[in-house]
Amino acid sequence: MTTSFHQIAKRPLAIRRASQITALALIVTVATQLLYVASGALGVTPDRAIVWGLEVLAFLTVAIFGLALVPARPVAGAGVAMGGVLNVIQAGMGLVMFGPLGDAGEAMAPAFQAVLAGAFLLYFAGKAAFALAGLQLGVELWQSASGGVRFLGLAAVITGGIGLVLNLVMTFGGMQVSLGGMGLLYPAGGAGTAATLFLALILTASIDRADAPTSA
């Protein structure tokens, strides 16, 4: 039986705190993605060591506290934790491997391209995992909530569904996948980031609803 948001009030305080910490860490990862987009639009190069280092810490936090959510929400908790693990690896690859391989010259170009492709595969797989978690929690909130908060669940379902499909396609097809002549690299990344944001918001909503009084 699906755990309703009202039942979270009966769960240990540690699980509710894990939801709060996970949501905050996910928002940090969304902020770094937006930083990449904004800096690219402005022609500014951020300090990658700082940004990627921050991402590694944020995703590690997501992985650890996502595991704490598994007893309450097995599928969503597993999706959050696995997304965190995959993204720790991909961000770590960028942090410690991109620089040395990129500076190694033409002879190491094939190795650099292989590492880059592997990092993107993990990136898309991690986004798919977050999207699946958001989709599952969105369905749960839509079914159990009432009033305007249900639309948060609907938004999580929509972004989670789109993010899951696009990022699974990119995981299997690689960075060069296109649809109608349009590359799916940026749409998949954007959809995955949107799904991650609504996943974070819906985790926060679960805490708020747990604290709210419930009817019999």
Q: What pLDDT shows up at residue 45?
A: 77
φ/ψ of residue 184, rounded to 5: -100, 5
- Report pTM: 0.87
Q: What pLDDT shows up at residue 43?
A: 78
Mean per-residue pLDDT of the chain: 85
Q: Which amino acid would we find at residue 47?
A: D
Cβ proximity of 195 and 131 under 8 Å: yes
Alpha helices in the chain (DSSP H): 13-42, 48-68, 74-93, 99-102, 109-144, 150-173, 185-211
Residue labelled with tokens 């991650």:
196
Query: Which residues lie closer than 8 Å to 53 by C-beta, 6 or more apart?
Result: 95
* Residue 3 pLDDT > 60: no
Share of the chain above pLDDT 70, in %: 87
Which stretch of DSSP H or E encloses residue 178? strand 178-179
Sign of CA dihedral 64, 170, 48, 104: positive
Q: What pLDDT shows up at residue 180?
A: 63
**Tens digits of residue pLDDT in 150-168:** 889 999 999 999 999 999 9
Q: Delimit the domains of the chain by residue range.
A: 6-211
Q: How far apart are CA 33 and CA 102, in angstroms?
A: 22
* Residue 89 pLDDT > 90: yes
Q: How far apart are CA 98 and CA 100, in angstroms?
A: 6
